[in-house]
Amino acid sequence: MKMQFRIMALTLCVLALAVVFLRFTPAGAAATGQIVGTVKLDGQAPHQKPIDMSKDPACAQVRNGSIASQESVVVGANGGLANTVVYISQGLTGNEAAIQSQAASIDQKGCQYIPHVVAMNVGQHLTVLNSDKTAHNIHPQPNPTGGNAQWNKSQLAGSGPIDVSWANEEIAIPVKCNIHPWMRAYIAVIKGPFGMSNDTGSFKLDNVPPGTYTLTAWQETYGTQTQKVTVGTGKPSTTDFTFKAK
């Protein structure tokens, strides 16, 4: 009889703890919503000129003869505009999901930055790799008044990765290579949830707490556009952007 009481008491304690635990969960585990949409280009994209990399034969080695083109406007099938960063510019309360623990990464391969645009959170780590058989010198050029420091770092062929992070929001930091003038990338450092359009133009923002926000889409050539969006916990909210080709 005493044994049964003990077991029942233990079970009740565990159940009580479970209830307590579940009631007082941190904000991040609360139900969140999503924003999905498409970014399109209305009109003809400007010609993306091919890049002549003959000044560094080691670039051609890795590329096996394939020709790279500049990537200032990348348009996929059905007019989808790629590499557009979509983020929340107004309405964040600071209770959003914590910084992504996984590091973002950017690679120097075939004497190009891959990917061309990196979107990441303030404080998140960025790993910079050099997969080429030649030296690179990555040089981010943040806004001088924005709080992020300007720096450049050499990576010889075969050298290890560089690990960096950014303390201030900036959309977006232009990146150049001091050795190969045609190399260009952008790093968008964002507070809160973000998404980036792929080559069909589709983007998705995850872990958006319910509320009303101003959503901004940034593209390196066409600049920014904003739209208001209301997010709930049910179906994802949809917002589309269309940039006009000049």
Nearer to other proteins, 6 or 55 (CB): 55
Least separation in angstroms between CB 245 and other proteins: 14
Contacts with other proteins: how many residues (CB under 8 A)? 23
Structure tokens, 99: 């910084």
CA angle in degrees (0–180, nearest 5) for 109-152-220: 65
**Token output for 59:** 């670039």
Residue 135 in the binding site for other proteins (CB under 8 A): yes
**Quick check: bond before 210 cis, omega within 30?**
no
Q: Which of residues 171-210 bind other proteins (CB under 8 A)?
A: 174, 176, 178-182, 184
215-244 residues near other proteins, rule: CB under 8 A: 220
Part of the chain binding other proteins (CB under 8 A), chosen from 14-22, 129-137, 165-173, 200-208 = 129-137
**Measured distance CA(205)–CA(166) in Å, rounded:** 21
Amino acid at 206: D
Give Cβ neighbours of residue 36 (< 8 Å, ≥ 6 apart).
202, 203, 204, 205, 236, 237, 238
> Which residues from 17-56 bind other proteins, rule CB under 8 A?
49-56
Contact residues toward other proteins (CB under 8 A) are 49-56, 70, 72, 134-135, 137, 154, 174, 176, 178-182, 184, 220
